[in-house]
């Protein structure tokens, strides 16, 4: 069973109302954060020809952008803890817009690394973490559903941005497209403006007065800057280790799906259509997973549900080499889209379930900086396997094995974690019961002595003192 949240909110989240506007804003921010680096690949061929860059050099644009997005997690968390989600998301939208507009005037590949990769990547980081953090402020009962709907922004924007980018490229070239996309990314500022902060309501005794002057309440803040005590949190450490292993095999199957189909002799259009199939299924899998996770049967066991989603993902990859013909690859894309959407919908919800909403901002920042390494190394390792063996099936077998191992690790370790939590809870209850029993025994012993006409040691001491005082008075 899932433990109680690690911290208690000062006010009950509204679980609706303006919260759905916040979910819509998070839908936009998360959609741009995850889909934009992938959608930029439409322009890479032309940029490569103009600058005379190699495939490796041009691929670093997206890699640096993703690395900056994940590496900026702790910085984003510190800013959210200090200023709230709304100004951080608005600042991130401005950074993304400035980065893309200035990149449109670039004449070197290094200029694109800085403007698109570094500036744009940190801007996306300032969009991602605050968006997933504020959902926990507005939702508690319906939080899995809200997270699933917000995370659905990624496949929706990917399916939308890819054709838009192709249209812009055909009409305006890559420079004009970058300029227009910079303006389009300013919509993240609109999304951020929807993230209205929730102010805590003063309760009785929270405000006191001294000589008629109101005194501000003193509140204990978990995340004044960045809560490094999370590295002592057993559930958080289990989550980090399992996810770090999982991400080595999480993105590579997506990156190499179209090349895998091309290696089987299918044309470019049919190969690319497999990604469209996966993205379309993923679009519906995320909110449906959030709806399932919100039920009374799965919500208390959401950590095990997450483990199942990872194992199911890995099994899809292990069975992929057995798919024959285009129909087999299309069926794999459907099941892969379901599995991919399930994992993405539960990724942040399970972390919030472990650490609680108050510590989630710091937790997601620390998690992203640690996950940055496997996210970047996973696809190159898969590509090295293809270069070594000359066959894509070994890549999918490797990714499948890694995912199954990560899922089993999380499943077993969560069982251990919950048993330890239950044992610790019983020990605390036992200590409280022992203290109450000792108090009751002392009271019963005192009552028994009084009923027999006897006095306790304290009462005897008081009697002796009173007798001594009376003797002094009589002599006087």
Angle at 345 between CA 344 and CA 347, to 5 degrees: 60
Q: What is the pLDDT of residues 56-110, one digit of tens each?
A: 677 778 778 888 888 888 888 889 888 889 999 999 999 999 999 999 998 888 9
* pLDDT, position 444: 64
In degrees rounded to 5, what are phi and psi of residue 375?
A: -65, -40
Give the list of residues 6+ apart from residue 376 with CB closer than 8 angstroms, or none: 63, 66, 67
Q: Model pTM?
A: 0.75
Over 50: is that where the pLDDT of 407 sits?
Answer: yes
What average pLDDT does the chain have?
Answer: 82
Q: What is the pLDDT of residues 124-156, one digit of tens each?
A: 999 988 998 899 889 888 888 898 899 988 888
In degrees rounded to 5, what are phi and psi of residue 10?
A: -65, -30
Q: What is the pLDDT of residues 256-288, one digit of tens each?
A: 888 888 888 888 778 878 888 888 899 899 999
Q: Report the candidate in 309, 302, 305 with the shortest Cα–Cα distance to residue 403.
A: 309
């Amino acid at each position: 069973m899932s433990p109680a949240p690690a911290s208690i909110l000062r006010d009950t989240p509204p679980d609706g109302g303006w919260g759905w506007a916040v979910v819509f804003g998070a839908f936009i921010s998360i959609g741009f954060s995850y889909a934009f680096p992938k959608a930029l690949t439409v322009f890479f061929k032309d940029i490569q020809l103009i600058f005379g860059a190699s495939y490796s050099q041009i691929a670093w644009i997206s890699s640096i952008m993703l690395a900056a997005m994940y590496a900026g997690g702790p910085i984003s968390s510190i800013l959210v803890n200090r200023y709230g989600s709304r100004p951080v998301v608005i600042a991130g939208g401005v950074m993304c817009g400035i980065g893309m507009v200035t990149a449109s005037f670039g004449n070197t590949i290094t200029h694109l690394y800085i403007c698109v990769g570094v500036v744009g990547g940190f801007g996306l980081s300032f969009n991602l973490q605050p968006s997933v953090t504020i959902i926990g402020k507005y939702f508690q009962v319906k939080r899995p559903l809200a997270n699933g709907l917000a995370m659905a922004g990624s496949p929706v924007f990917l399916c939308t941005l890819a054709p838009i980018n192709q249209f812009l490229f055909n009409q305006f070239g890559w420079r004009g497209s970058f300029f227009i996309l910079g303006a389009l990314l300013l919509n993240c500022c609109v999304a951020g403006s929807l993230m209205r902060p929730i102010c805590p309501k003063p309760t009785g005794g929270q405000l006191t007065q001294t000589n008629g002057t109101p005194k501000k309440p003193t509140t204990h803040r978990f995340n004044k800057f960045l809560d490094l005590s999370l590295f002592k949190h057993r559930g958080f450490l289990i989550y980090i280790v399992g996810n770090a292993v999982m991400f080595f095999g999480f993105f590579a199957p997506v990156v190499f799906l179209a090349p895998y189909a091309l290696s089987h002799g299918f044309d470019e259009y049919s190969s690319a259509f497999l990604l469209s199939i996966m993205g379309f299924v993923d679009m519906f899998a995320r909110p449906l997973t959030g709806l399932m996770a919100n039920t009374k049967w799965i919500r208390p066991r959401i950590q095990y549900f997450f483990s199942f989603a990872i194992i199911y993902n890995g099994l899809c990859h292990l069975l992929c080499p057995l798919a024959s013909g285009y129909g087999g690859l299309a069926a794999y894309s459907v099941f892969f889209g379901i599995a991919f959407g399930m994992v993405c919908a539960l990724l942040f919800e399970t972390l919030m379930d472990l650490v609680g909403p108050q510590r989630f901002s710091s937790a997601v920042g620390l998690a992203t900086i640690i996950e940055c390494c496997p996210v970047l190394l996973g696809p190159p390792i898969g590509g090295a396997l293809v270069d070594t063996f000359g066959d894509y099936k070994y890549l999918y077998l490797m990714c499948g094995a890694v995912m199954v191992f990560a899922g089993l690790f999380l499943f077993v370790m969560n069982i251990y974690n919950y048993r330890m939590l239950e044992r610790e809870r019983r020990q605390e209850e036992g200590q409280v019961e022992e203290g109450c029993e000792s108090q009751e025994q002392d009271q019963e012993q005192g009552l028994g002595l009084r009923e027999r006409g006897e006095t306790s040691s304290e009462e005897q001491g008081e009697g002796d003192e009173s007798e001594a005082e009376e003797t002094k008075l009589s002599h006087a």
